[in-house]
Each structure stands twice: as structure tokens, then as C-alpha cells.
Homo-oligomer: A and B are copies of this chain.
Amino acid sequence: MSTFTDELKRKDIRIGLVPTMGYLHEGHLSLFQLLEGRCDLKAASIFVNPIQFGAGDDLDKYPRDEIRDVELLESVGCELVFAPSSDEMYPADFQTYVNVEELSKPLCGKFRPDHFRGVATIVLRLFNITGCSMAAFGLKDYQQARVIEQMTRDLNLSVELAFGETVRESDGLAMSSRNKYLSKKDRELAALIPKSLEWVKEQAASGVSNYSEIVAGMREILESKPGVEIQYIEAVNPQTLEFQSEVGEGVQILIAVYIGGTRLIDNVRISMSGVKRLV
């Protein structure tokens, strides 16, 4: 892949990359629109990265369908797919890791200790292997987006980043490859997540700015039916991801829940003047 992309770069062909773990949905595919007109060749990677999964995570059962993925990628104008094996990417003596220290600690980092170290390491390597000039990521994984943004700046990478709004199902559930795990009943329960976030937006628009009130209200909605186990609901500074008790100029509300053994995350930006976009 490096030999091929080196050749492209010598011809001044700018590569735009969408790194994925495969089992693609509309959320992934929408990211290719962000590359439009800003690069010469659209590329994707498909790689279920073992080092970002912890013990007890769903590495082994993570859904895969590479043939369908490639068809979907072709349909959105993606011309190059990099889909390496784990053995190729992690030879026995592999031992170099990138850690974005502060941003990796809170939120999901509390429950998945080496997750963002694994994400930062593979993303850097995918940037290096493809030599991409730009890359796009989804905002459903908000903490991941901040980790990658910070790494790109701290390590002086010459990769332009673009972040895409979360794409949602008709009932508001954020698209995720992991939604496949949900039973019919769990899928119905999952709609409580976007419902709780919509409620937060309304509260913010009507002037509620207190963290405790917001969390209590969300908790009430999520627990209105049995089956949703809240891992965390947090209100943080959108840049530093530090706890923020007042909405003020803008606060990111992040949530992680378990439904029937499936871990789902989502988030929303709120401010006193209503909802704000990250980018």
C-alpha cells in the first residue's frame, strides 16, 4: 500500500481517507461527502483494530462483511480500500504506542483503559501508510474525534481533518455497527438514548443550564423502561473534556449505556443559545 500511495503522492495526487472498522452504515458513507472536492482520490481502510479492544470487549464477535463493504464504498466513489490482516499490522515484536494522555482518561477512557491508545496508534499508522492529505471521522465517537484532533496537532501531522455529524435512524438512534447486536426489544429501548438527548436540547434552549438537573432528567427518561444500564452521563468542556457543571458557552453531553449487553454511546453539544456544531 505504501509503495502504491508513494507513487500517487509523487504524481501530486492528494489522498482523502476514511478509516473504518468495516460493517459500514450510512454514518461511514456520509463521510465521503466531506472529502468531496478536497482531495483527488477517496480511500477507505477496513481494519478491526485489536489493540483498541480490551479484555471482555467484543473483538471476536465484532461484525464483518467485507464484500458488502467494498460494494458500498464503490457506490460512494471510494477508489481505494486498504484492508490489512491483524498479523500484517502487528508482527510479534510490535511495541510502539501513541498516547494522547489527558483526553484519553475521562469518559470512555475510564471504562476502556487502553482504548484510545489503540485508536491513536492505528490512526497514526493508517495516515502514514496511506500518506493521506486529509481524513474524515464521525462525531458519534466524540472523544475519539478530540483524541485524533489533538494527536494530529501535537505530532505535527500534515493531515487535514474533517468531522461528520452523527447520522441517525428514523427514531433518532445513532447509526453504529454495534446496533446489529440489538434484539427487537433492545432496539426499541435504544430509542430512549436519542430521546434523552433531544430532551437535553430542549432544556438548554429553554434556559436550563445546571448539570445536576440535566443528568437527573436524562436518567429519568433512560430508566423509564427497564433494560437500559447507564455507564456514564457526563457534561464536559468540548475541547478539554473536563467536567463542567454549567452549560455556559457550550458543553458536550456524553452518554454510554448498556442495553442487553451491547454498549452504545452518543453525545450532543448544547449551549445557552441552543445547539452548536463542533465544526
Binding site for B on A (CB under 8 A): 2, 6, 10, 12, 93-103, 120-121, 124-125, 128-129, 131, 150-151, 154-158, 240
Nearest chain B CB to A150 CB, angstrom units: 6
Contact among B98, B100, B128, B156 with A2 in the assembled complex (CB-CB below 8 Å): B156
Contact among B94, B98, B128, B240 with A96 in the assembled complex (CB-CB below 8 Å): B98
Nearest chain B CB to A35 CB, angstrom units: 20
Contact A103:B95 (CB < 8 A) given known A12-B10, A128-B158: yes
Majority-rule SS of A interface residues: mixed
In the bound complex, how far is the Cα of B95 from the Cα of A240, in angstroms? Answer: 11
Q: Which residue of B lies closest to A6 (CB)?
A: B158
19 A-B pairs with CB atoms under 8 Å apart are A2-B158, A6-B158, A10-B12, A93-B102, A93-B150, A93-B240, A94-B154, A95-B100, A95-B102, A95-B150, A96-B100, A96-B101, A96-B120, A97-B99, A97-B101, A98-B99, A125-B156, A128-B157, A128-B158
Complex contacts, A125 vs chain B, CB 8 Å: 154-156
Count identical subunits in the complex. 2
Nearest chain B CB to A100 CB, angstrom units: 5
Complex contacts, A97 vs chain B, CB 8 Å: 98-99, 101
A-B complex: 5 closest residue pairs judged by Cβ atoms: A96-B154, A128-B156, A95-B101, A95-B102, A96-B100
In the bound complex, how far is the Cα of B150 from the Cα of A135, in angstroms? Answer: 26
**Extra contacts besides A93-B102, A94-B154 (9): CB < 8 Å:** A2-B158, A10-B12, A95-B103, A95-B154, A96-B101, A125-B154, A125-B155, A128-B156, A128-B158
Q: Which residue of B lies closest to A99 (CB)?
A: B97
- The residue among A10, A12, A124 with the most chain B CB atoms within 10 A of its own CB is A124
Q: Which residue of B lies closest to A124 (CB)?
A: B155
In the bound complex, how far is the Cα of B151 from the Cα of A25, in angstroms? Answer: 34
- The residue among A10, A99, A121, A129 with the most chain B CB atoms within 10 A of its own CB is A99
Q: Is the CB of B96 within 8 A of A151?
A: yes
Complex contacts, A158 vs chain B, CB 8 Å: 2, 6, 128, 131
In the bound complex, how far is the Cα of B154 from the Cα of A131, in angstroms? Answer: 15
